[in-house]
Amino acid sequence: MFLNYLIIYAFQRAMLLWMMGAAQRDAMLIYEATQGLGTKDSALIGIICTRTPSQIYEIKQAYHAMYHQALERQIDGDTSGDYRKLLLALVRGNRSETLAVDPNLALGDAMELYRAGEGRLGTDEEIIIHILTTRSPTQLNMALQYYRQNFGHDFEKAIKKEVSGRFENALLALVQGVCYPARYFAQELVDATKGLGTKEEGLIRVITTRAEIDMYYIKQEFLAMTRRTLEAVIASETSGDFQHFLLSLVGGV
């Protein structure tokens, strides 16, 4: 009986999120993540670090309209340290969204990122946060390509060596969201479905937010990572209306 309740709840929650507009849905997911004891950082990171500047702007408007509170204030109160600095910088929205790229700036940023991390004793978090939160996604993508070309590996490797915890996870989400978003979301689905039981929060969040955007590519990445189709994993990990609904959203029905 208890199990049935959980399934009905998950189904209704997924359905409700699916019916909402994208910005309202993200606002609700962030709000839920910040309620109760602690913060579900995977939701906070999975949304704030992977949305474009204009999407973040819309999420802020929606958040204020729905919860009568500034998103910045909520994040300020619920997070700390460099992790907070990074999320606040993203939410304050000093990032450009132009598609034009400046190769000289990108090369300079790649060098700066190196000097702030792998190229020095300790880490200059301020510089890393500044570059990652002020450049347009397209511009940052180019800087990260230069990084790979000049230093023989991805900036991700530097992040993993230099920092840790939530700050590390947030930086990785930001970088992966810019370079290969489908792989990032596929990894979230892998994390949500592996091990004992299924973490419904991640499953519902990723599927309802990406279904109409890049689910086709996420499914391909998921298959490459796990050698199982996302549909097969959903079918084995969930049941009832919840299962049918998720399968219809990922195009498996």
Instruction: List residues binding Ca ion (CB under 5 A).
Output: 123
Q: How far is the CB of 167 from Ca ion (least distance, A)?
A: 14
Q: How far is the CB of 116 from Ca ion (least distance, A)?
A: 8
| Closer of 111 and 223 to Ca ion (Cβ) | 111
Could you tell me the smallest distance in angstroms from the CB atom of residue 131 to Ca ion? Answer: 15
Our CB check for Ca ion shows the closer of 74 and 123 to be 123
- The distance of closest approach from Cβ of residue 32 to Ca ion in the complex, given in angstroms and rounded to an integer, is 36
Between 34 and 123, name the residue whose CB sits nearer to Ca ion: 123
Pick the closer one to Ca ion by CB: 97 or 124: 124
Over the chain, what HEC string results? CHHHHHHHHHHHHHHHHHHCCHHHHHHHHHHHHHCCCCCCHHHHHHHHCCCCHHHHHHHHHHHHHHHCCCHHHHHHHHCCHHHHHHHHHHHHCCCCCCCCCCHHHHHHHHHHHHHHCCCCCCCCHHHHHHHHHHCCHHHHHHHHHHHHHHHCCCHHHHHHHHCCHHHHHHHHHHHHHHHCHHHHHHHHHHHHHCCCCCCHHHHHHHHHHHCCCCHHHHHHHHHHHHCCCHHHHHHHHCCHHHHHHHHHHCCCC
Closest distance to Ca ion from the beta carbon of 136 (Å): 26
If the CB atoms of residues 92 and 160 are measured against Ca ion, the closer one turns out to be 160
